[in-house]
Amino acid sequence: MDDTLSRREWLKKTVARVSSAAFLPSTLWHEPLGAPAEFAASPASPPAESSTIIPLTSTSDVYIPPRGNSFFKFSFDFPEPSVSFGDFQISFRVYTFENTYAADASLMTAETGSDSAHIHCKGFVWAGDQQKAPGTLEAHITRNGSFVECRATAEMGQSIKSIAAIVRGVPRGKVSVAGGNFFDPKDNELLFGYPFGGGSLFVAGGMDSPVLVIQSGEKEYFFLSALVKEVRASRFYLQPGEKGYRVELVHEREGWARSNRIESAVWRVGRAENMEGAYRPHFEHVEKAFAIPDWESRTDVPAWFREIALVVSLHGMHWTGYIFNDFVECLKILKWVATQISGKHVLVFLPAWDGRYYWNYPIYKPDPRLGGEEGFRILIDKGHGMGFHFMPMFGMNAANKLLPEFKNFADATTEQIDGDAFNLNWVDWDNDRHNEGWGGYMNLGVPSWRNWLSARIADTLSTYHADAYFLDIAGGWENNSKADMHEGTRLLVEDLRKKFPDVLVCGEMPYDALMSFIPLFQVFSSGGYPPGMKKYVRAFQHLSLPAPGRGSSGVHESGFGHFNPKTLNLGKEQIPTITVVDDTFERYRDVMAEIIQKAKERVGQ
């Protein structure tokens, strides 16, 4: 795995690539050879002279057929009756659990002014305008300073799953997603989802916050965002045309509470002259909506962590049972590290301390082959004596369905909003070139799982006096039919904080709302706009960071990568991290020493 990618990004890219290649029609991820110029784009339908309703369709102003990578779409003209507001043309779709609906243009009215517009529709069409259905849609569009904001509400005689605003007039250019680095998408279609893919495996990437920025010129930044007040699935689909993007902004309701009525989040679009002006308004909303404190004022960060300059990841046992470092070897390594840097500046991360990585989830007891309970106690006690701080790893939403313990929380597996099972089945652990299917994806919103995991973490913290605990796949929120995963995560963390107020919690990858109660993550995903994370939290480097030498990822499923010497020259965005596998200490101690020296410079040593 490329060490510049988060685990979440790597997972999504891998799943999308494998699925599209092996199982899905080529229309999902299609790279056409090219199209004659006369067929490159469908001409826009001209606006009606006597009406504010513009009779556009899904193929207006976009490349048909696609010129680059593309996603599923209708193979006919789906109606998109639109209203002009400023530079934009805006339409809406409604999705139930059985079909897709557009506003009926013949039953649609729009009252527009310079600063607001009110859209009302008394019915819907489906089957490409061949059929009609009862229902209502209301939308309000307002100009708020340099922003344009829109909210839509729909009601039908059946449960509504999601609603979308379709926006034209969006410029093309380089794209930054949720504070990430800018990239040139060329003529590719783009699809991003918040959080963790927004409930879809087949997005181009996940969003830590539902905001996207397009740089179309030196001082020309365009932004789109969803101002959610609760964690809800949001998806952003950008379809290119000659003059700009056709954008779908999809708001999906919570899957555990069906209703015949849906109200979208507030969608916001606008322009700015710089990155700060494009991103800052969104994160100001996020701060207020989720009560996220600034880093300097956080009360959930133990004093000892503010002195941490280095993370040492001591890898334990691989899924197959291969041991990289047992507890005796871990202690040997730490004794040497203590000769290079004061232990008080080091956080010791312990992946797979509990035995077979992922297979043993969620028993969480020190594995006998690694040294058992006594060996684990000696490691932490003697490590504490040298000033080190310890953080064992726990799978927040992973459980082996084949273990006898699984019956205690079997009701907490995940079904997505449409009812399909969502399993942790995206890894080929045994290398038979087929992904494994024994992993359940668990929902912390369900009390049985939350109580089990909380008890296992609490037992480890109280028995061995660990200083922190790590929640694997922390950003893996999925819209589902049972309970809110985010709320379950918050309850777990807050309950443990009451019991262990001086213990630090760390998550693998973030999304915005998690930053309100988790101050440390393993993935820094805001390289394009660092304040999107750095203002609130801190991060070190992923456990799969290639180790010095051959680039082993240790217990992680990605195998081998390329050790990047730039690891030695990190900026202030991430805490330097050393991946220690089976040969790191014996063969690459000089590289470890170099990394440690860079870490010491961070604390003025």
Query: pLDDT tens digits for 200-229?
Result: 666 678 899 999 999 999 999 999 999 999
Instruction: Say yes or no: 133 and 51 in one domain.
Output: yes
Are residues 549 and 515 both part of a single domain? Answer: yes
Q: Are residue 201 and residue 330 in the same domain, yes or no?
A: no
Whether the link from the prior residue into 36 is cis, omega within 30° of 0, is no
Domain identity same for 336 and 220: no
**pLDDT band, very low/low/confident/very high, at 146 (cuts 50, 70, 90):** confident
Please indicate, yes or no, whether residues 275 and 306 belong to a single structural domain of this protein: no
Of residues 568 and 303, which shows the higher confidence score?
Answer: 303
CA 73/CA 399 separation, integer angstroms: 35
Whether residue 320 sits in one domain with residue 271: no
pLDDT for position 15? 37
Region 78-84: mean pLDDT is: 97
Average pLDDT over residues 376-391: 98
Kindly state the percentage of the chain with pLDDT values over 70.
Answer: 90
Q: Identify which has the larger pLDDT, 298 or 26.
A: 298
- Lowest pLDDT segment from 105-114, 334-343, 563-572: 563-572
pLDDT of 401 > 50? The answer is yes
10-65 pLDDT, tens digit per residue, is: 444 443 333 333 323 323 333 332 333 322 333 443 433 334 899 999 999 999 99
Whether 188 maps to a domain, the answer reads yes
**What are 511-547's pLDDT values in tens digits?**
999 999 999 999 998 989 999 999 999 999 999 999 9
Q: Does 195 score more than 70 pLDDT?
A: yes
pLDDT at 281 over 60: yes
Point out the domain boundary residue: 234, 257, 290.
290
Is 318 found in the same domain as 172? no
Angle at CA 29, nearest 5°, toward 26 and 35? 80
Amino acid at 306: R
For 428-440, what is the mean pLDDT? 96
DSSP class of residue 105 equals: G
Q: Are residues 499 and 363 in the same domain?
A: yes
| Residue range of the domain that includes 150 | 31-290
Q: What residues form DSSP beta bridges with 108?
A: 121
Q: State how far the Cα of 490 lies from the Cα of 131, in Å rounded to an integer.
A: 45
pLDDT of residue 605: 67
Nearest Cα neighbor of 14 from 564, 392, 565, 544 is 544
Indicate whether 433 belongs to any domain: no
Q: How many domains are there within the chain?
A: 2
CA 473 to chain centre: 9
Q: Is residue 249 part of a domain?
A: yes
Q: How far apart are CA 259 and CA 94, in angstroms?
A: 13
CA-atom Rg of the chain in angstroms = 25
Give the mean pLDDT of 238-255: 97
**CATH number of domain containing 63:** 2.60.40
In a domain, 139, yes or no: yes
Note whether residue 36 is domain-resident.
yes
- How far apart CA 248 and CA 389 sit, in angstroms, is 47
Mean pLDDT for 87-102 is 97
234 shares its domain with 378 = no
Mark which of 275, 290, 305 sits at the end of a domain: 290
Q: Say which residue the tokens 């904080």 belong to.
A: 497
In this structure, what CATH number is given to the domain that contains residue 525? Answer: 3.20.20.80
- Which residues, in sequence order, are bridge partners of residue 151? 140
Q: Which DSSP string corresponds to 571-603?
A: -SSS--EEEE-TTHHHH-HHHHHHHHHHHHHHT
Same-domain pairing of 252 and 367: no
Nearest to 441 by CA among 423, 415, 453: 423
Could you tell me if residue 73 is inside a domain? yes
Mean pLDDT (the chain, rounded): 91
Question: Is the domain of 333 the same as that of 193?
Answer: no
491-508 residue pLDDT tens: 999 999 999 999 999 999
Residue appearing with tokens 């939350």: 450
334 in the same domain as 230: no
